[in-house]
Chain A
């Protein structure tokens, strides 16, 4: 099956620093990648939709200058949390659509971000 990886799996950083999270589709080309944020025992909140070679589309209430998304290729998207603050601490998950099966999203294992 389709595999999506995320790196790092866990990151702890100081307040004010920036953190980059990578999302890769390992065995397929992703038409679109999605970035989600999740709080404990809650559902996923879509932050932005990322298409290769174009600007990401952000959901209402998500600051695009704070959460920078770059979709450099059909297999890689990055999310950079700039000037992180403790309230940015969360579980960030990416997913990717396969061109072969466009109604299925394949999820990465998630990245736990803790901002001190």
Chain B
């Protein structure tokens, strides 16, 4: 079993649509990161959230850390083909770093 479950696992949408990716756990994290990975490349850090309830915005991407620091969400507004990739959340318990199960997003032009 994975410590961090992401949903959905796969998502295919039309350009211009909105979407939300969820990252859930029963464990508490001192911080949580979101990464995006393109095929054949390493993950690229998008954001780090550390405070319960924190909301961070990165252009069309909005990240939220749950109040209890057990879950997070990533919302993309008006998705573009360039948003296509594998989105990974990752949580730090202070002792170890755990990756989520991943969400593969395809944005169709």
Q: Answer yes or no: do A and B interact.
A: yes
Question: B41–A110 contact, CB under 8 A?
Answer: yes
Q: Could you mark each residue 43-79 of chain B with 1 if its beta carbon is under 8 Å from any beta carbon of chain A, else 0? A: 1110010100000000000000000000000000000
B90 in contact with A105 (CB, 8 Å): yes
Contact B40 A110 (CB under 8 A): yes
Q: Mark A39-60, 1 if CB is under 8 A from B, else 0.
A: 0011110100000000000000
Which residue of chain A lies nearest to B2 when distances are taken between CB atoms in the complex? A43
B side interface size, CB within 8 A = 25
Task: Please determine whether B42 and A110 come into contact, CB atoms closer than 8 angstroms.
Answer: yes
Q: Which of chain A's residues have a CB closer than 8 A to the CB of B101?
A: 42-43
**A43 and B50 form a contact (CB under 8 A):** no
Indicate if A113 sits at the interface (CB-CB under 8 A).
no
Number of residue pairs spanning A and B whose beta carbons lie under 8 angstroms apart: 53
Binding site secondary structure of chain A: strand
Cβ-defined partner of A46 (8 Å) among B31, B42, B48, B99: B99
Contact A43 B100 (CB under 8 A): yes
CB pair B92–A103 under 8 Å, yes or no, is: yes
Contact, CB under 8 Å: B48 / A41:
no
**Contact A41 B104, beta carbon cutoff 8 Å:** yes
Residues of A within 8 A of B10 (CB): 41
- Residue among A34, A93, A103, A106 with max Cβ neighbours from chain B (10 Å): A103
Q: Which of B45, B100, B102 contacts A106 (CB 8 A)?
A: B45
Instruction: Please give, as numbers and ranges, the residues of chain B lying within 8 Å of A104 by CB-CB distance.
Output: 33, 45, 48
CA distance A106 to B33 in the complex (A): 11
